[in-house]
């Protein structure tokens, strides 16, 4: 029986790509490096802040240099924690979260966004208590697609794998769910790079008004 819905954050509940792009270019500008386009920045999202910075650095310099990567990563985290003024919630997310709660379902969050920027954006959106358990990209020594962060959310909520559905938008989220052996719902309007048919999922949706029905069908 499904008792909870666990969500990814960036590209799933919120569109933060414009703020992440601005944070990235502030770091690059500060370091006197070439800037990246919005499309480049968006393509770097998904595997956590460190991988984002490594991809960004390679794109503008052609390589990763450990000391420089460390510096860029530290500066990116500084700006990232403050980058939420342009972040928007996807349409109908708020009412859908309320609807799921009315259905008696518990909510959790499993994101590769580092915990401090995650907490900052949740506070900015007034979602401080929206999710029972929140695991960020740096909460554990490993990040998604390793299943450990998702399983940590389950542990924090005292739930079994068969009791949750994970909702995400990307190949990373899909791989995480598959490796954790949990049901996965794919939000198709996020940051995926492949066609939906090529991504592991039990159901997919592009409008949040359809999510509660999908969840009911998989209870």
CATH classification at residue 25 = 1.10.150.240
Per-residue pLDDT of the chain (219 residues; tens, 9 = 90+): 899 999 999 999 999 999 999 999 999 999 999 999 999 998 998 888 899 999 999 999 999 999 999 999 999 999 988 888 889 999 999 999 999 999 999 999 999 999 999 999 999 999 999 999 999 999 999 999 999 999 999 999 999 999 999 999 999 999 999 999 999 999 999 999 999 999 999 999 999 999 999 998 876
Tokens 């909702």 belong to which residue?
Answer: 167
From 25, 55, 81, give the residue that closes a domain: 81
From 63, 81, 99, give the residue that closes a domain: 81
Element (H, E) at 167: strand 164-168
The answer on 91 and 51 residing in a single domain is: no
The answer on 141 and 206 residing in a single domain is: yes
Number of domains in the chain: 2
Please tell me the pTM assigned to this model.
0.89
Task: Give me the phi and psi of 79, to 5 degrees please.
Answer: -75, -35
CB neighbours (10 Å) of residue 66?
7
The answer on 52 and 156 residing in a single domain is: no
What residues make up the domain containing 209?
A: 4-15+87-217
From 42, 62, 81, give the residue that closes a domain: 81
CB 185 within 8 A of CB 201: yes
Q: Which residues are catalytic?
A: 8
**Could you write out the DSSP letters of every residue in 60-74?**
HHSS--HHHHHHHHH
Q: Which tokens in the block code for residue 202?
A: 């039990």
């Amino acid at each position: 029986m499904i008792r909870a819905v666990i969500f990814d954050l960036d590209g799933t509940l919120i569109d933060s790509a414009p703020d992440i792009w601005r944070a990235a270019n502030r770091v690059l500008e500060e370091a006197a490096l070439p800037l990246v386009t919005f499309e480049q920045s968006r393509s770097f999202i998904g595997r956590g802040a460190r991988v984002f910075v490594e991809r960004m650095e390679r794109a503008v310099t052609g390589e990763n240099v450990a000391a420089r990567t460390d510096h860029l990563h530290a500066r990116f985290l500084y700006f990232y924690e403050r980058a939420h003024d342009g972040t928007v919630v996807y349409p109908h997310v708020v009412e859908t979260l309320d609807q799921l709660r009315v259905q008696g379902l518990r909510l959790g969050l499993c994101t590769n966004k580092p915990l401090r920027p995650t907490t900052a954006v949740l506070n900015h959106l007034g979602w401080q208590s929206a999710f029972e358990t929140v695991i960020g990209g740096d909460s554990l020594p490993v990040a998604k697609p390793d299943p450990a962060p998702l399983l940590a959310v389950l542990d924090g909520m005292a739930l079994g794998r068969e009791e949750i559905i994970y909702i995400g938008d990307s190949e990373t989220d899909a791989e995480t769910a598959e490796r954790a052996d949990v049901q996965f719902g794919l939000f198709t309007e996020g940051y995926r790079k492949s066609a939906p048919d090529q991504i592991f999922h039990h159901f997919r949706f592009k409008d949040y008004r359809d999510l509660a029905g999908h969840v009911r069908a998989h209870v």
